[in-house]
Structure 1
Amino acid sequence: MSTPLPPGNETAEVWLMPVFTAKAGHETELRNALRSLQTLSRQDCGCLEYTVYADVQRPGTFVMLEGWTCHEDLEAHNQQQHVKDFVEAVRPLLEKPFSVTTLAPLD
């Protein structure tokens, strides 16, 4: 899973907002997988923030806020076995592929 960045931003902090939508009947499985990923990912080098939220207006939808000190740390995180295992494990639980939005603060 690679995250595109504007040229020249490789050393800037990286903030992402992935969104996951569970297939009906798989909400608890997805929640548990996300909770486990959250615990493991918070230990990865360069992690500034890694929190999963349940969308109270859309049951079965989970939004993650993750922040990394730089693009290199994010890429190293994405190569961790726990991330690869998570991506494979949740694929059959998802209504549609998860989306990832790259965020930037307003000036």
Structure 2
Amino acid sequence: MPTHERATEEVWLKPVFIAKAGREAELQEALRSLQTLSRNDPGCLEYTVFSDGERPGTFVLFEGWVSREDLEAHNQEVHVTAFVEAVEPLLAKPFTVTSLVPLVISPRTP
């Protein structure tokens, strides 16, 4: 098995959000709320928002899901669909999402 193939179906993503000038605090608060709610969604392994220390107004989300089905269910949740709609006017450009694949698979400890 190549090193990039997963023994499980876990899905890891890195969405990046860039605020319009003057809208940084609003975007940060919306992301903070999304983080709080999303961490309770079934299958959530990780859901943490970071502020990019070198690019003010840029926020990076690191999220992990047990399976693609869990991610798809999360994306249909009201708190996610409402977030996507609400932050559109706060963004300098549409947010991007990068799929991440671990190079080394470490077993999870209970």
For normalisation by structure 2, the TM-score amounts to 0.87
Runs of 4+ in structure 1 deviating by more than 6 angstroms, as ranges, are none
- Deviation at 1:106? 1.0
CA RMSD in angstroms, aligned pairs only: 1.4
Higher alpha-carbon Rg: 2
Three-state SS of the structure 2 residue aligned to 1:96 is: coil
Aligned residue in 1 for 2:96? 99
Q: Tell me by how many angstroms 1:17 deviates.
A: 0.1
Q: Secondary structure at the match of 1:59?
A: coil
Unmatched segments (≥5 aa) in structure 2: 1-5, 105-110
Unaligned runs of 5+ in 1: 1-8
For 2:101 and 2:77, how far apart are their aligned partners in 1?
25
User: Equivalents in 2 of 1:93, 1:105: separation in Å?
Assistant: 32
Which residue number corresponds to residue 74 of structure 1? 71
What SS does the corresponding residue of 2:63 show, helix, strand or coil? strand
Count of aligned residue pairs for this structure pair: 99
Give the equivalent residue in structure 2 for 1:3.
none
Q: What does residue range 1-107 of structure 1 map to in structure 2 within 5 Å?
A: 12-107=9-104
**Counterpart Cα distance in 1 of 2:103 and 2:63:** 17
